[in-house]
Amino acid sequence: MYTIGEFGAKTGFSTRTLRFYEELGILYPSKRNESGHRLYGLEELATLQRIQSLKFIGYSLQEIKEMLDKEEITLENFADSLPVQRKVLVHKREEIDSAIAAIDQVQELLDDDFPLDWTVLTSLLHGMEFEEEQKAWMQEHFPDDFASFFTDISKEERKKLDREWLSILADVKKLMRENIPPHAQEAQQVLYDINELFLKMVPENVIVENIDKWEKQLESAEADDFIAPTFWSKEEEAYMEDIAKVMEENYKEEK
């Protein structure tokens, strides 16, 4: 039999971890010596090895406790839990892969000196994290022929579009810093650039043929169904609205 220090040294676990396992109720020392110190033997070693094996394949300590608390753990009931556990691990791997891809993309932007602030960064990362949910929302609320323009974009193409969008955002911030009025040509150019970016995803002839139908579809879609942080600050939103109003007035005068 070994004291907790000796057992920890032999197994490579700290006494703190062993005490924590005892507090959780997954590894009790079978005996104590005359001084009341914990004593561990082969039975505790077997239990510890089982705990670590289950941790290795992704089970939580709470799940392990529930397994150990059962009167009898058979390979059959353990095998029944493996498909579910595999799905959990695959989902975690996908989340980690997505997170790594997001880090790489942000790092590339920083390396290329793209101007990022917390508003833009939060929106960019939110879009990456909830990309599948965004696609599902588009498919639910819009006809397939329209939704496909946004859902069928490759990751590389999306990265290019993100960079162009960030360039437009940078232009807006620069215009505001320099106090360029909404009626100035360079301010109005921003809306033209946004339109050009949209046309890279949806061909103009398709827009002309379907614009009325899509507008009705957008109006009927519940706003609460899809909530995402905006790329714009409130001041930037107001500035863009002013630019749009000026352009609309100019268009009416020309007619």
Per-residue pLDDT, averaged over 67-88, amounts to 75
DSSP code per residue over the chain: -EEHHHHHHHHT--HHHHHHHHHHTS---SEE-TT--EEE-HHHHHHHHHHHHHHHTT--HHHHHHHHHSS---HHHHHHHHHHHHHHHHHHHHHHHHHHHHHHHHHHHHHTT----HHHHHHHHHHHHTHHHHHHHHHHHS-HHHHHHHHS--HHHHHHHHHHHHHHHHHHHHHHHTT--TTSHHHHHHHHHHHHHHHHHS-HHHHHHHHHHHHHHHHHS-GGG-----SS-HHHHHHHHHHHHHHHHHHHHH-
pLDDT at 81 (0 to 100): 77
Q: In CATH terms, is domain 2-73 a member of 1.10.1660.10?
A: yes
Domain ranges of the chain: 2-73, 114-254
Q: What are the pLDDT digits (tens) for 109-118?
A: 888 887 777 7
Say if residue 179's pLDDT is above 90: yes
Task: Read off the pTM.
Answer: 0.58
